[in-house]
Amino acid sequence: LRRSPGEVCFPGGKSEATDKDDVDTALREAKEEVGLQPEKVEVICRLMPGIDKMNNLVTPVVGFIEDTFQVTPNPDDVSEVFAVPLEYFLKPLNYKTFSYKTSSGYLTRIHCFIYDDQEHKRSFKIWGLTAHFAVFLALVIFGERPTFEVDYDLDNLISSSENNFINLYTSIYERKKSNL
């Protein structure tokens, strides 16, 4: 893609006028990008949104698919597809973190995972918002403490994720307001 070429991400993209909601957008994008038929997805939930580096609101949609799903990547959007066990985002073999100050001045932690994929015989760098969503989902699913620090109160995961999002959103809104 023109924006963020070569980066690892989940299927997704901007909503279109024909999309009913975030779930519809996610299912349409997954079909377009990797050939996942919407009827083959059991949608479970939406996670707390995030804000990407262009200040777009990104709402992750989580669902189950059969492990027999055969991916057919759209070559205009996707160069390759790989799978990572969700547990890796709690107990990684190769991990680092760095602090990042957003354009609005909000200080956050950026997770960066290097995943060695034996099937493809190469390594993939998973970081930023993609890593953020993967870590949060792993925390929710497994309820275990990761081997690294996170910006959540793990005893109050959902409310602390809401507070983190509200603080980030507020910092962006305040910066936009001050630029008017």
pLDDT for res 2: 56
Count of domains forming the chain: 2
Domain co-membership, 77 together with 135:
no
Domain co-membership, 18 together with 36:
yes
Q: Which of 25, 46, 81 is the last residue of a domain?
A: 81
pLDDT tens, per residue, the chain with 180 residues: 555 667 899 999 999 999 999 999 999 999 999 999 999 999 999 999 999 888 889 999 999 999 999 999 999 999 999 999 999 999 999 999 998 887 667 788 899 999 999 988 999 999 999 999 999 999 999 999 999 999 999 999 999 999 999 988 888 877 766 765
Q: Which of 52, 81, 110 is the last residue of a domain?
A: 81
Domain co-membership, 171 together with 97:
yes
What sign does the CA torsion over 23, 140, 107, 111 have? negative
pLDDT for res 97: 96
pLDDT for res 152: 94
Domain co-membership, 98 together with 134:
yes
Domain co-membership, 30 together with 118:
no
Domain co-membership, 64 together with 127:
no
Q: How far apart are CA 39 and CA 19, in angstroms?
A: 16
pLDDT for res 62: 98
Domain co-membership, 92 together with 168:
yes
The four Cα atoms 65, 136, 125, 36 give a dihedral, to 10 degrees, of 20
Q: How far apart are CA 137 and CA 31, in angstroms?
A: 22
Range of the domain at 106: 82-179
pLDDT for res 53: 81
H helix intervals, 52-116: none
Domain co-membership, 88 together with 171:
yes
Domain co-membership, 69 together with 89:
no
Domain co-membership, 55 together with 108:
no
Q: How far apart are CA 53 and CA 178, in angstroms?
A: 19
Domain co-membership, 71 together with 103:
no
Q: What is the DSSP letter of 90?
A: T
Domain co-membership, 131 together with 53:
no
